Structure 1
Amino acid sequence: MTAIREVRATAYRVLTDRPEADGTLAWDATTLVVAEADAGGTTGTGWTYAPAAAASVVAETLAAVVAGADPMDIPATWTAMVRRARNAGRPGIAGYAISALDVALWDLKARLMEVPLVRLFGTAHAAVPVYGSGGFTTYDDDTTAAQLRHWAHEQGIPRVKIKIGESFGSAVPRDLHRVALAREVVGPGVELYVDANGGYTAKQAVRVERRLRDHDVRWFEEPVSSDDLAGLRLVRERSDADVAAGEYGSDLAYFTRMCRAGAVDCLQVDATRCGGYTGWFGAAAVAAGHNLQVSAHCAPNLHLPAAAATPALRHIEWFHDHVRIESELFDGAARPVGGVAHPSDGAPGHGLVLRPDVAARYRVA
């Protein structure tokens, strides 16, 4: 048996290209935590977007149960990681660490078998729909318009999303102004989405959604907190737009509660938070059991092979920050054409390789 020889993780902090904020948070940098697993002279790579402390969880908590394991037996190793992290606060930092390492293990297995990861999973879609995502509340009108034009008119992406719910829902007139601007820029043929990041109260979100109908908004993401299942259900029942949430859940019990509560029209799943590719397929199965589609939250290049293997997929979020980071720090990053992206099928694994010389300048742990 070829055993996993070594596990390690490194954190990189990349500044944003300008100040960014959504309805409930502001930031000026994004931290990428990269996990690697070695076996048989081959390295598998996974990553998550999380505090640098997630790298310590990989080294200090998870490595002990992953090193020495069979790289072909990922379900057993995933279970061992979850059990090992029992007292480490999962969900949370430990969930991010498990996710990054699980992705690395699947990448390692595919590379050892010398097959593209999308072939190892099996393909349900030859191409994966994407939507442009950014439109931060800190952007002025010119910056917002330029970003929307780039997605809709230069890249031909027929779906775009902006942030609303500014300052915990205290700037509704500006929210509505920015939605009107977005519709004007992209035109009537592009689907317009909004994300409040939990910035509104439930009844406030209902009132806002009625105004969004004037601009044909099709997707209302996290109008209230993802933890407020009753509030999500209230908005969904009164909304013309599809209500989506779920990305912050890091275990299947959370996704199950959300689906059973009738809280969403589409379940958002983030493999960098919910247990990697293993967690993604578990969440997708929960969604399918409730006749719901899934949408991939952020980390677009990481999600591509799993999304392509998911029958009930709606789309992937082509998130501005993560597109910048993955394109700069990895070789093999995808480029959407005509609103779709293709997972790598010409190289083993997920097809992405970290550029150590580029990444080194951003290293923080």
Structure 2
Amino acid sequence: MPIDKVAAAAYHIPTDLPEGDGTLAWQATTMVVVTLTADGHTGTGWTYAPAAAAALVTELLADVVTGSDAADIPAAWAAMTRQIRNAGRPGVAGYALSAVDVALWDLKARLLDVPLVRLFGAARPQVPLYGSGGFTTYDDDATTAQLRRWVQDQGIGRVKIKIGESYGTEPERDLHRVALARRVIGEAAELYVDANGGYSAKQAVRLGERMREHRVTWFEEPVSSDDLPGLRLVREHCAADVTAGEYGCDLAYFTRMCQAGAVDCLQIDATRCGGYTGWFAATAVAAGHNLQVSAHCAPNLHLPAAAATVNLRHIEWFHDHQRIEADLFDGAADPSGGLARPRADSPGHGLTLRTAAAERHRVR
């Protein structure tokens, strides 16, 4: 079936509280949604990116996708990759390509009238997840309330908070918040931290040593994801698993990270690395180096692909994105018990944008 229409829109959604991590703060998140139509069916993809990604879809990618066969996703993906050669990748162009690719896979599954996880081929019926938030902008009360909701109310046994505040200049507050998190979640739940590249390598080693008493088992991006020697140094001296990789948008980047021995688990973001097509290519690279992968953010988008990935560890149930997806889409998953199931009772990824609800946030 030929694709007859490509459309893109951008929505700017305020956060429920100010959010921040080791290197950035924000009070709203922009989601770019792409829709493709063929034979009366609509496929939907999205990414969390500047509104410019929607313009790039319209200006550069729509023409190469329109008229292509909805079944031939590799051909469309290759054509889009050629088209954005001079637009820069990774970056906004990578976000735009990713959203279109997700929409292509959703459209194909809907045309075939099968759930997307069945089109991929399931490796597991449900996917482990961890609650992610604990922003550096939260006070102790907000952090406590969020952690309790995950662990006590929803039964999620893995949680992550942000550290590395103000580019690593507040290490004592970081450690205070780690200790608080452990007290709130108790001894049974796993505790993860994410510095978003806020520390230097030696500082991260020192902080990692001091976090041992709180049994932190996952240290995400202790230094920049671009600092492969620094990641390897932290990994060699840290009791927690070191992970990074979500900002890479090409296989060469993921390959370098794996070959450098920089991480214990590779993070992959389908909304940045080329959609579902890019996801499965990156998971294959990780598998070739005997590494597990974790899905970064956009939890409902990742569910079908994560359930089809043999070397998956878990997905990130990121507070900012899961709130948006639950509010603006029908069909969002339930994380209760620390496990989520991809939709197997409807075609495609099973999510449908609530256009009227989203319209008030539209900026493009």
Counterparts in 2 of 1:161-180, with a 5 A limit?
A: 161-180=160-179
* Aligned position for 2:214: 215
Which residue does 1:118 correspond to in 2?
117
Normalization by structure 2: what TM-score?
1.00
Partner of 1:350: 349
Match of 2:105 in 1: 106
Count of residue pairs brought into register by the alignment: 364
CA displacement at 1:90 relative to structure 2 = 1.2
Q: Secondary structure at the match of 2:28?
A: strand
Q: Aligned residue for 1:284? A: 283
The superposition leaves residues 38-78 of structure 1 with CA deviations (integer Å, 9 ceiling, x where unpaired) of 10110100000000000001000001110010000001100
Instruction: Give the match for residue 139 of structure 1.
Output: 138
Match of 2:293 in 1: 294
Report what 2:10 is aligned to.
Answer: 11
Letter aligned with residue 36 of structure 1:
T
State the partner residue of 1:152. 151
SS at match of 2:360: helix
Match of 1:199 in 2: 198
Alpha-carbon separation, structure 1, partners of 2:89 and 2:240: 33
Question: How much identity, in percent, do the aligned residues show?
Answer: 73
Q: Match of 1:88, as an amino acid? A: A
Structure 1 residues 194-242: Cα deviation after superposition (integer angstroms, max 9, x where no partner): 0000000000000000011010000000000000000000000111100
CA distance in 1, matches of 2:164, 2:65: 42
For residues 223-234 of structure 1, the aligned pairs below 5 Å read: 223-234=222-233
AA aligned opposite 1:112: L
Which residue number in structure 1 is paired with residue 322 of structure 2? 323
Structure 2 equivalent of residue 78 of structure 1? 77
Give every structure 1 segment of 4 or more consecutive aligned residues whose post-TM-superposition deviation is greater than 3 Å.
none
| 2:315 counterpart letter in structure 1 | I
User: What's the CA shift string for 1:8-37, capped at 9, x where partnerless?
Assistant: 100000000111110000000000000011
What is the DSSP-based 3-state SS (H/G/I as helix, E as strand, rest coil) of the residue aligned with 2:336? coil
Q: Distance in 2 between matches of 1:287 and 1:249?
A: 13
Which segments of 5 or more consecutive residues in structure 2 lack a partner in the other structure?
none
For the pair 1:42 / 2:41, whether they are aligned, the reply is yes
Aligned equivalents of 2:122, 2:342: Cα separation in 1 = 10
Alignment match, 1:90: 89
Letter in 1 for 2:188: G
2:314 counterpart SS class: strand
- Equivalent positions of 1:267-282 (< 5 A) are 267-282=266-281
Gaps of 5+ in 1: none
Task: Give the whole-Å Cα distance in 1 for the aligned partners of 2:70 and 2:304.
Answer: 19
1:336 deviation in Å? 1.1
Deviation of the 1:337 alpha carbon: 1.9
1:139-166 superposed Cα distances (whole Å, 9 cap, x missing partner) = 0001000000000110000000000000
Q: Which residue of 2 aligns with 1:313?
A: 312
- Matched residues in 1 for 2:89 and 2:221: separation? 22
Partner amino acid for 2:162? K
SS in 1 for 2:173: helix
Look up the equivalent residue of 1:290 and give its one-letter code.
H
Aligned residues: CA RMSD: 0.4
Structure-1 separation of matches of 2:132 and 2:247:
17
| Partner of residue 242, structure 2 | 243
* Residue 327 of structure 2 corresponds to residue 338 of structure 1: no
Counterpart of 1:184 in structure 2 is: 183
Secondary structure (helix, strand or coil) at the match of 1:47 reads strand
Amino acid at match of 1:80: A
Query: When the two structures are superposed, what TM-score results if normalisation uses the length of structure 1?
Result: 0.99
Q: Which secondary structure state, in structure 2, belongs to the residue aligned with residue 362 of structure 1? A: coil
**What SS does the aligned partner of 1:291 have?**
coil
